[in-house]
Structure 1
Amino acid sequence: MLTSTAHYPTEHASKYLQQLCKHFAHKVTVENDAHRGSVALEAGPAELTADENGLTIRVTAEDAKGIIGARFVFDIHLVTFAHREGFTGLSWAMLP
């Protein structure tokens, strides 16, 4: 399994976490509250955490194609949700 994480520094982390989870809940299984969320993406699970420092997203997939797809899903939705903040994309890091 491959894992990748990204952190988006924002004062609106909880708002974005809830928007993302509500949006994804129309298609996949989602569990969330104001500070934590889990999204059962087709490629693998995604975990979201919101705190005073921002939004952290962790995606897991079996292969590089799945990781790339999961990253894209979050990037493209945050472009829409966080456009007022000038969001242009996340800097993703691979975890060992």
Structure 2
Amino acid sequence: MSVAVARVPTLSASRYLQQLAKHWSHKMEVAFTAEEGSIAFPNGAHLAMRADSQTLDLVLTVPEDGDMARMREVVASHIDRFAFREGPLTYDWQEG
């Protein structure tokens, strides 16, 4: 598995976490609270999220045969849709 981690500066982290989780809950296995979320993608990838007052922390895990760059783009573009008043947000993806 490949892992990428990002700390996204935003004062609306909890709102974006919940919006993303609700958005994908009809298609994927999702669990979330106001502070934490988890999304299991059909391709075997997994997104863990944690929100605090200053940042949205993302941990994206993708199978070795998966496309990490594409999955990072999918996650970021969906969050940016919810952050249209503030975005685009800054995603400093690091290999984990």
The answer to whether TM tops 0.5 is yes
**Judging changes above 3 Å, is the alpha-carbon distance between structure 1 residues 89 and 63 closer, same or farther for their aligned structure 2 residues?**
farther
| Aligned CA distance change for structure 1 residues 64 and 75 (closer, same or farther; 3 Å) | farther
Q: In 2 relative to 1, CA 64–79 (structure 1 residues): closer, same or farther, beyond 3 Å?
A: farther
Equivalence for 1:44: 45
Mark the runs of 5 or more structure 2 residues left unpaired by the alignment.
Answer: none
Tell me the TM-score normalized by structure 2.
0.89
SS state at 1:83 partner: coil
Give yes or no for the alignment of 1:29 onto 2:29: yes
Count of residue pairs the alignment pairs up? 95
Structure 1 outlier segments of 4+, above 3 Å: none
Aligned to 1:6: 6
Equivalences for 1:74-85 in 2 at 5 Å?
74-85=75-86
Instruction: Measure how far apart 1:43 and its partner are.
Output: 3.7
Partner of 1:58: 59
* Aligned position for 2:17: 17
Identity value in percent = 35
For residues 28-57 of structure 1, give each alpha carbon's deviation from its aligned partner in whole angstroms, at most 9, with x where no partner exists: 000000000000012411100001121011
Secondary structure of 1:34's aligned partner: coil
Question: What TM-score, normalized to structure 1?
Answer: 0.89
Note if contact 1:30-1:40 (Cα within 8 Å) is conserved in structure 2.
Answer: yes
CA distance in 2 between partners of 1:38 and 1:86 (Å): 22
> Which structure features the higher share of helix residues?
1
Cα distance in structure 2, aligned partners of 1:89 and 1:65: 23
